[in-house]
Chain A
Amino acid sequence: MSNDKIKAPKEPLFSKKNKKLVTEPLDDNNPLTIQVLGICSALAITVSIEQALVMTGSVFFVLGAGNMIISLLRNLIPSRIRIIVQLVVVASLVIIVNEVLQAFLPDVAEKLSVFVGLIITNCIIMGRFEAFAMANKPWPSFLDAVGNTVGYGIVLVLVSLFREVFGAGKFFNVPIFGDRIEGTGLYSIGYMDNNFIILAPFALFAVGLIIWIQRARNKSLIEEH
């Protein structure tokens, strides 16, 4: 090894910089509430916590594997066709996720229907490929994927928790307010599930409320006028 190039000191696996990759997307740079990416799926599939979790898992697989693949290939991809290469990577990963879900979780897969396929168009994924994986090594890219998926998943679960409890009267598909048709529990004193909360537009209100609360707590997010 007569290589006289000065080798950069090896970074520890969980250096301060790497930790920041995971923690920053959770709050200060949340992909959903700050960058407002991936809203479409947040509106569509947040009717039950189960769906939200499966969606988060699928996005984690696609983004984690995709980020690493793109990062490994980053020096080989000609920049003029990089979007096509990225698309091929996402599309193949999404097909894998889709097949796995249909094989092992057919119920959830049926409910998520086209939205698994539409992970391809989830802006967070292409956004992270373009903004991070194209310029960073595989390990930081993977951490970046972890941080972004968890940041995305937190919002998804919060929204779906609210919508499932108050819209469908269920928690993890278990009725919690009593039987709606029989009229037991809370329903016997006149409580009704709110149909509006089940509709997709309400998810927009819910995401908006989360953004409101987040900005009220974290003053650094408020833009200067």
Chain B
Amino acid sequence: MKVKKNIAISESGFVFDPSSGESYSLNPIGTEILEYLKKNMSFEEISPLILEKYDVDQITFERYYFDFVNSLQQFNLISNEQ
């Protein structure tokens, strides 16, 4: 899974896709996860970091994580290429 390389992510959670001109607002956790994805980190690498930092269990996080990733795919912000 790869975040499109020209996607701009600001600290405030504002995401801009310069190819489509679309922009999105993420909450702090969404921003953090997208930053991890931009560093090419896998779910297995991201999961322990989130579980340690936030009050969430593994099953709940997994469910929200893949829902979030699906949304990113739907908006063409990430692709499945490795």
* Mutual binders A and B: no
